[in-house]
Amino acid sequence: MNIEKFQESMYQLIVETSTNLPKDVRRAIKGAAERENAGTRSAMSLATITNNIKMADDNVSPICQDTGLPTFKIKTPVGANQIEMKKAIYNAIALATKDGKLRPNSVDSLTGENSGDNLGGGTPVIKFDQWEKDYIDARLILKGGGCENKNIQYSLPTELEGLGRAGRDLDGIRKCIMHSVYQAQGQGCSAGFIGVGIGGDRSSGYDLAKEQLFRSVDDVNPHEDLRDLEAYIMENANKLGIGTMGFGGETTLLGCKIGVMNRIPASFYVSVAYNCWAYRRLGVTVNPETGEIQDWMYQEGEKIDFAQPAAQEIAATVEAPAEEGVVTLTAPITEEQIRQLKVGDVVKINGMMYTGRDAIHKYLSDHDSPVDLNGQVIYHCGPVMLKDDEGKWHVKAAGPTTSIREEPYQGDIMKKFGIRAVIGKGGMGAKTLAALNEHGGVYLNAIGGAAQYYADCIKSVEGVDLMNFGIPEAMWHLNVEGFTAVVTMDSHGNSLHQDVEKSSLEKLAQFADRVYK
In this structure, the answer to whether residues 441 and 485 fall within a common structural domain is: yes
Number of domains making up the chain? 3
pLDDT tens per residue across span 299-353: 888 778 776 554 455 445 444 444 557 999 999 999 999 999 999 999 999 999 9
- Measured CA to CA, the distance from residue 358 to residue 124 in angstroms comes to 22
Residue 490 in this model has a pLDDT that exceeds 50: yes
Q: What is the pLDDT of residue 516?
A: 61
In this structure, the answer to whether residues 330 and 443 fall within a common structural domain is: yes
In this structure, the answer to whether residues 343 and 365 fall within a common structural domain is: yes
CB contact set of 98 (below 8 Å; sequence gap of 6+): 117
pLDDT tens per residue across span 144-186: 999 999 999 999 999 999 999 999 999 999 999 999 999 999 8
Q: What is the pLDDT of residue 307?
A: 66
In this structure, the answer to whether residues 162 and 100 fall within a common structural domain is: no
In this structure, the answer to whether residues 362 and 410 fall within a common structural domain is: yes
In this structure, the answer to whether residues 113 and 83 fall within a common structural domain is: yes
- Measured CA to CA, the distance from residue 284 to residue 287 in angstroms comes to 10
In our burial notation (b when 16+ CB lie closer than 10 A, e otherwise), range 122-132 reads: ebbebeeeeee
Q: Residue 513: inside a domain, yes or no?
A: no
Residue 511 is given by DSSP the state G
In this structure, the answer to whether residues 256 and 405 fall within a common structural domain is: no
How much is the average pLDDT of 352-364? 97
- Measured CA to CA, the distance from residue 187 to residue 195 in angstroms comes to 17
Q: Residue 453: inside a domain, yes or no?
A: yes
Beta bridge partners of 257: 195
pLDDT tens per residue across span 199-257: 999 999 999 999 999 999 999 999 999 999 999 999 999 999 999 999 999 999 999 99
How much is the average pLDDT of 4-11? 98
Which CATH number belongs to the domain containing residue 361 in this structure?
3.20.130.10
The chain-wide mean pLDDT, for the chain, equals: 94
**Residue 312 amino acid letter:** Q
The radius of gyration of the chain from alpha carbons, rounded to an integer in Å, stands at: 23
How much is the average pLDDT of 467-490? 96
In this structure, the answer to whether residues 99 and 56 fall within a common structural domain is: yes
Q: Residue 514: inside a domain, yes or no?
A: no
In this structure, the answer to whether residues 135 and 163 fall within a common structural domain is: no
Q: Residue 78: inside a domain, yes or no?
A: yes
In this structure, the answer to whether residues 343 and 483 fall within a common structural domain is: yes
> What is the reported pTM?
0.93
How much is the average pLDDT of 7-11? 98
Q: What is the pLDDT of residue 301?
A: 81
Give just the sign of the alpha carbon dihedral 232, 235, 239, 241.
positive
Nearest to 431 by CA among 375, 498, 380, 367: 498
Residue 41 in this model has a pLDDT that exceeds 90: no
Give just the sign of the alpha carbon dihedral 53, 59, 60, 65.
negative
Q: What is the pLDDT of residue 324?
A: 53
213 with 143: CB under 8 angstroms?
yes
- Measured CA to CA, the distance from residue 505 to residue 495 in angstroms comes to 16
Helix (H) or strand (E) holding 57: helix 41-59
In this structure, the answer to whether residues 139 and 103 fall within a common structural domain is: yes
Q: Residue 507: inside a domain, yes or no?
A: no
In this structure, the answer to whether residues 403 and 359 fall within a common structural domain is: yes
Helix (H) or strand (E) holding 379: strand 377-379
Distances (CA, A) of 259 to 143, 195, 452: 19, 8, 34
CA angle 325, 327, 333 (to 5 degrees): 170
Q: Residue 516: inside a domain, yes or no?
A: no
Among 319, 346, 381, give the residue marking a domain's end: 319
Q: Residue 343: inside a domain, yes or no?
A: yes
Distances (CA, A) of 252 to 261, 276, 488: 27, 11, 18
Q: Residue 452: inside a domain, yes or no?
A: yes
| HEC assignment per residue over 154-194 | EECCEEECCCEEECCCHHHHHHHHHHHHHHHCCCCCCCEEE
pLDDT band at 38 (very low <50, low <70, confident <90, very high): confident
How much is the average pLDDT of 188-207? 97
Could you list the residue range(s) of the whole structural domain that residue 433 is in? 323-501
